Amino acid sequence: MRTGPGFVLACMLAASTTLAQDMVYLEVTGFWTPASFHVESTGPTMGGRGSPEENDDKVFGIAPSTGCATFTLQVDTSTVQYIPRGYLGTTHPWYGYDGVRLVGTLRIGTAWWTTDRINTGLIGPGNARATLWTNVDLRTGDPSLLSIRMMGHWNRYIGDLFVGIRTNTTIYRSFMLAEYYGGENLFSESYAAVSILGVDVDVKPGSDDNTVGCDNGHGVTPVAILTTPQFNALDVDIATVRFGPGQAVEAHRAAPTHPGGPGDQRGRHVQDVDGDGDLDLVLHFAREADGIACGDTEATLVGATTSGRRIRGSCAINAIPHDKPGPIQRDDVAISPNPFNPATNISFACEVPQRVRVGIYDLGGRLIALLADGNYGAGPHSVEWRGQDLSGRAAPSGLYLVRLELGDRVEVRRASLMK
């Protein structure tokens, strides 16, 4: 993991407090033709808030043509609400998700969207307003119908993107781009939505420093796909897995060996990387093929299971040339006992009075517990973690990252909670 100030030292799947196994990526692709462009009104007729526009059928600077756009949503499925058939006049059962983010930035013509404003008008039980609605549970399949609205940016005004045009009783399988005050609309002919399971990924397992060579050197980078209560990493089809911007493939297989050893009868590297008692899958990718550039801070792995379910996971990295030494780990930070149950002590020393922050993160990069955040005097100190999350609930067994910010210095250690 990267150990410079200001970096979250964890394998990151999303900025959320949920566990990685609750993450699903929803990849949405819409298609349109010249007939999809419409002008309903232009600037002066919109009143004082209007913006003068030429009646030329352009939407966000896009002239009528055949095209498509793909974007990915990151969905926290632990927030799901189920709306039974017939609720508030809908004709389908619906699953609503509050935890939704747009991966990266979506740009179409001169307009762009981020995760700043994602909402919907559909309200569920208890007046809960979810940001995404589907007719299929994303944890189990691909939806055929969606309902979501993202408000973007265009020419100092709001650029809307609606997915699933909706009335009180019907969802239409299309999405619409709208110049909100210009009155120009583009309706897609259709869209496809594919749910991709988020998985826990650990680059260079067993090391707190994810330093990866970035100058096309020789050798391989080990990457582990972790088994969780919701996902068996040994179900992954190795032939489908790709790593990094270069989409590198698995460099070599393990020789078949006895069960529980470094390889299994199918020639896979298997190992209990996180100490939770379950076997994880360890893959090896050639550095010269992964496409990682110096300065990159994250690498993504994609693939599929043997049943065809797509997977995706990301991990923070520190990409440096091979001849540049990585950060040196100090020995004045200790975790004892480790593994632990039910509690462990994190000890550290301050050379001078300084601000100290001690956080516990899961392998998905999400803050699980905050043990210290304040000023400490010079000398030795310790804080205790009793295996509880921010809400005081017992955290599940598994591997966690302990991040200590000691002034400008950052240290990361691993702690294993065993139950």
pLDDT digits (tens, 9 = 90+) for 258-302: 444 455 656 678 888 888 888 999 998 888 888 888 777 788 899
pLDDT of 417 > 80? The answer is yes
State the burial class of residue 39 (Cβ atoms within 10 Å of its Cβ: 0-12, 13-18, 19+): middle
Helices (H), 205-290: none
The residue type found at 103 is V
pLDDT of residue 253: 63
- Banded model confidence at residue 256, pLDDT cuts 50, 70, 90: low
- Banded model confidence at residue 403, pLDDT cuts 50, 70, 90: confident
- Most confident of the ranges 5-14, 178-187, 276-285, 391-400: 276-285
- Banded model confidence at residue 330, pLDDT cuts 50, 70, 90: low
| 3-class state of residue 78 by DSSP | helix
pLDDT of 385 > 90? The answer is yes
Per-domain boundaries in the chain: 34-188, 199-320, 334-417
pLDDT of 386 > 50? The answer is yes
CB-CB contact of 364 with 13 (8 Å): yes
Distance between start and end Cα atoms, the chain: 26
pLDDT of 174 > 60? The answer is yes
- For the segment 82-97, the average pLDDT, to the nearest whole number, is 72
pLDDT of 346 > 90? The answer is yes
* Least confident segment among 65-69, 300-304, 364-368: 364-368
pLDDT of residue 242: 92
Pair type for strands 201-203 and 171-179: unpaired
pLDDT of residue 39: 65
pLDDT of 15 > 50? The answer is no
Q: Between vectors from CA 295 to CA 292 and to CA 298, what angle results, nearest 5°? A: 60
Name the β-bridge partners of 310: 304
pLDDT of residue 122: 64
Helix (H) or strand (E) segment spanning residue 300: strand 298-304
Mean of per-residue pLDDT scores for the chain: 78
Cα–Cα distance measured from residue 91 to residue 140, given in angstroms and rounded to the nearest whole number: 21
State the burial class of residue 391 (Cβ atoms within 10 Å of its Cβ: 0-12, 13-18, 19+): exposed
The residue type found at 419 is K
* CATH no., domain 199-320: 2.60.40
- Most confident of the ranges 150-164, 165-179, 314-328: 150-164
CB-CB contact of 203 with 212 (8 Å): yes
Q: Which residue has the higher pLDDT, 258 or 114?
A: 114
pLDDT of residue 331: 67
CB-CB contact of 299 with 292 (8 Å): yes
Cα–Cα distance measured from residue 395 to residue 32, given in angstroms and rounded to the nearest whole number: 47
CB-CB contact of 135 with 92 (8 Å): yes
Kindly write down the DSSP assignment for every residue of 108-138, as one continuous string.
Answer: ETTEEE-SS-EE-S-B-GGG-B-SEEESS-T
pLDDT of 101 > 60? The answer is yes
Which CATH topology does 334-417 take?
Immunoglobulin-like (2.60.40)
pLDDT of residue 344: 93
Other beta carbons within 10 angstroms of residue 51's beta carbon come to 17
- Banded model confidence at residue 315, pLDDT cuts 50, 70, 90: confident
pLDDT of residue 290: 86
| 3-class state of residue 75 by DSSP | strand
Q: Which residue has the higher pLDDT, 133 or 317?
A: 133
* Least confident segment among 12-21, 26-35, 48-57, 285-294: 12-21
Note whether 199-320 and 334-417 share their fold.
Answer: yes
Distances in whole angstroms, Cα of residue 187 to Cα of each of 37, 144, 174, 191, 293: 7, 17, 7, 11, 38
**Contact residues for 142 (Cβ-Cβ < 8 A; gap 6+):** 136, 193, 194, 195
